[in-house]
Amino acid sequence: MPAEIEPENAPQSVRDVLSFTLADETYALPLESIHEILKTPPITPVPRAPADVLGIISVRGRITTVLDLRLRLHLAHEPASARARVLLVDSGVELLGLLVDAVQQVHRLNPDEVELSNMVSGELADYVVGIGRPGARRMAERDATSTEELLILLDPAALLRRVV
């Protein structure tokens, strides 16, 4: 069963998320939805697959589909760098790979560091559940000129839903 970020009316608790970059933006997925982080393996293309399907890989003998997360989120395509990684994420039906530009770190977000959002519009609206502001409490205590890190929190269930 895929891990999801709780809806607004659910009791709030601390959330562990894995942050990663795509096109100079920082995104995050719930840590419990991530099974493994892989260096980018050779990916076998699949003929007539949707544009955001890069192909398939074999992970310990198990065939896994790899999605280009940039294309899924309607960002510009760029060739993978040496820092690119494949996140193996549970879709509820199968493990799928998500190609990301670079993995950053695990953040522990307190309820007051998460803003659930129904205000996101456009093509990202289906995938984004809110914004994480790690260290927001500490930022309030420090110099107001410090820059705040923002995490775009993604919904793994929506992200991995098959597009026909």
Length of the chain: 164
Place of tokens 């040496």: 82
Domains of the chain: 15-160 (2.40.50.180)
Q: How many CA atoms lie within 13 Å of 142's alpha carbon, on the beta-carbon side?
A: 9
Whether residue 162 is predicted with pLDDT greater than 90 in this model: the reply is no
Asked whether 79 and 58 are in contact (CB, 8 A), the reply is no
Reported as a single tens digit per residue, the pLDDT across 107-130 is 999 988 988 876 666 667 788 888
Reported as a single tens digit per residue, the pLDDT across 23-68 is 999 999 999 999 999 999 999 999 999 989 999 999 989 999 999 9
Whether residue 1 is predicted with pLDDT greater than 50 in this model: the reply is no
Cα-to-chain-centroid distance, residue 138: 25
Check residue 86 and give its pLDDT: 97
**In the numeric block, which tokens belong to residue 24?**
């100079």
Whether residue 5 is predicted with pLDDT greater than 90 in this model: the reply is no
Highest mean pLDDT among 13-17, 122-126, 144-148: 13-17
Alpha helices, DSSP H only, in the chain? Answer: 69-72, 136-141, 156-160
Q: How many CA atoms lie within 13 Å of 44's alpha carbon, on the beta-carbon side?
A: 7
